[in-house]
């Protein structure tokens, strides 16, 4: 694929949805178009203030600047629930090591004991670094805020697909599974090591990314990679596999990647993946004829099967990205 960077992605203002009436109708239309044309867009006027965003970014940076021993104290290798720290090169995409370090967290929950499905082992507590006592409350609050925005966005997606606004509500339930990832991409050392994260689709319904000022995120568009130029204050939103499944391929989970920073010293980002209840089945929406005619079924890639059962789909993604963790706790699979 060729690199191109000239095409700006659409910018949508969530305030339009909240305003209701004609503004809401316009938002739904723009969302429908952005989702179909790119599967990626910027979201502004989303209700989270710049100060909160900056604080979360600052904590992200502080975390990665901790001594390696403090980060290894919360290594994901200690967690059957795929939570915690992964060092540079410790994660694979398309079988290749990603040049990024990261910290993963989900809902704070109690472990399920007794007989259980494999994917129920995803449920459990997070790990928190003792060196940063304020991190837990801050990140869990951020998680709540992004869950709310994502829930609203899913209502808007439902409208764009000409469904009742609450069509996803049952699959979300009171506490949908969400996954947050704090990420640091170190500067590229050599051309051969430019895979910050390799080309992939995200496994949830949708993803919200807050990026800093260093570029690197790219989205597959026609036959090119389109640079997602940083837009201060905005979230980058993209469609995941569950929306592709629900819409029978009318919406596509968009391939994207991050190339390691070439000029900046490093790049930080914060990704939030909105899934559904782990025990839910993704609904198959009854699209109106005009949309249905353009739905060609979800992609069938033998290397990446999509599962309607949410827990199964999430576990597949986690195991592929973190084989060492999977080997340790899910060897039977």
Ligand X SMILES: O=C(O)CCC(=O)C(=O)O
Residues of this chain that interact with Fe ion (CB under 5 A) are 202
Which 255-314 positions form the footprint of ligand X (CB under 6 A)? Answer: 256, 258, 269, 271
Q: What residues contact residue 262 under an 8 Å CB cut-off, 6+ apart?
A: 187, 188, 194
Q: For ligand X, which stretch binds (CB under 6 A), given 124-132, 136-144, 165-173, 209-217?
A: 209-217
Q: Give CA–CA dist 311/304, Å, rounded.
A: 15
Given a contact cutoff of 8 angstroms between Cβ atoms, the answer to whether 266 and 185 are in contact is yes
Nearest approach in angstroms of CB 238 to Fe ion is 7
Look up tokens 């975390």; give the residue: 63
Closest residue to ligand X, based on beta-carbon distance = 269
Nearest approach in angstroms of CB 101 to ligand X is 12
Q: Give CA–CA dist 246/172, Å, rounded.
A: 13
Selection from Fe ion, ligand X, none that 188 binds (CB < 5 to 8 A by kind) is none
* CB nearer to ligand X: pick between 106 and 258: 258
Q: Does 56 interact with ligand X (rule: CB under 6 A)?
A: no
Q: Give CA–CA dist 160/308, Å, rounded.
A: 21
Pairing of strands 224-227, 2-4: parallel
Q: How far is CA 85 from the centre of its chain?
A: 17
CB-count burial class (<10 Å; 0-12, 13-18, 19+) for 77: middle
Nearest approach in angstroms of CB 181 to ligand X is 5
Taking the CB of residue 134, how many other CB atoms lie within 10 A of it? 10
60: which 2 tokens?
A: 């992200």
Q: Does 98 interact with ligand X (rule: CB under 6 A)?
A: no
Q: Does 226 interact with ligand X (rule: CB under 6 A)?
A: no
Q: Does 197 interact with ligand X (rule: CB under 6 A)?
A: yes
Question: How many chain residues bind ligand X (CB under 6 A)?
Answer: 11
Nearest approach in angstroms of CB 211 to ligand X is 5
* CB nearer to ligand X: pick between 31 and 197: 197
Beta bridge partners of 41: 237
Selection from ligand X, Fe ion, none that 316 binds (CB < 5 to 8 A by kind) is none
Taking the CB of residue 303, how many other CB atoms lie within 10 A of it? 7
Nearest approach in angstroms of CB 57 to ligand X is 12
Q: Give CA–CA dist 187/267, Å, rounded.
A: 8
Q: Does 215 interact with ligand X (rule: CB under 6 A)?
A: no
Nearest approach in angstroms of CB 164 to Fe ion is 29
Phi first, then psi: give them for residue 295, nearest 5 degrees: -95, 115
Continuous segment of H or E residues that includes residue 57: helix 50-64
* CB nearer to Fe ion: pick between 13 and 269: 269
Q: Does 183 interact with ligand X (rule: CB under 6 A)?
A: yes
* CB nearer to ligand X: pick between 266 and 279: 266
* CB nearer to Fe ion: pick between 139 and 206: 206
Residues that bind ligand X (CB under 6 A): 181, 183, 197, 202, 209, 211, 217, 256, 258, 269, 271
């Amino acid at each position: 694929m060729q690199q191109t960077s000239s095409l700006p992605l659409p910018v949508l203002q969530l305030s339009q949805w909240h305003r209701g009436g004609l503004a809401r109708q316009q938002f739904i239309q723009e969302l429908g178009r952005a989702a179909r044309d790119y599967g990626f867009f910027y979201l502004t006027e989303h209700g989270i203030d710049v100060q909160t965003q900056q604080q979360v970014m600052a904590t992200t940076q502080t975390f990665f600047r901790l001594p390696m021993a403090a980060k290894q104290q919360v290594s994901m290798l200690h967690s059957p629930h795929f939570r915690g720290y992964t060092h540079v090169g410790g994660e694979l995409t398309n079988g290749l090591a990603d040049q990024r370090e990261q910290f993963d967290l989900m809902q704070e929950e109690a472990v399920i004991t007794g007989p259980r499905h494999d994917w129920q082992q995803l449920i459990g507590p997070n790990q928190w670094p003792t060196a940063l006592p304020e991190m837990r409350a801050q990140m869990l609050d951020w998680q709540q805020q992004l869950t709310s925005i994502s829930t609203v966005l899913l209502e808007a997606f439902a409208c764009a697909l000409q469904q009742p606004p609450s069509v996803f509500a049952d699959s979300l339930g009171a506490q949908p599974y969400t996954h947050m990832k704090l990420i640091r991409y170190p500067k590229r050392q050599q051309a051969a090591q430019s895979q910050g994260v390799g080309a992939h689709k995200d496994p949830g319904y949708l993803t919200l990314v807050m990026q800093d000022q260093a570029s690197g995120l790219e989205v597959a568009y026609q036959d090119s990679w389109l640079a997602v130029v940083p837009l201060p204050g905005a979230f980058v939103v993209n469609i995941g596999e569950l929306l592709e499944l629900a819409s029978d391929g009318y919406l596509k989970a968009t391939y994207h990647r991050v190339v390691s920073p070439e000029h900046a010293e490093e790049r930080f980002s914060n990704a939030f993946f909105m899934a559904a209840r782990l025990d839910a089945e993704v609904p198959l929406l009854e699209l109106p004829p005009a949309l249905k005619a353009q739905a060609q079924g979800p992609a069938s890639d033998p290397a990446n099967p999509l599962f309607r059962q949410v827990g199964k789909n999430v576990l597949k993604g986690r195991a592929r990205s973190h084989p060492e963790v999977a080997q340790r706790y899910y060897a039977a699979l």
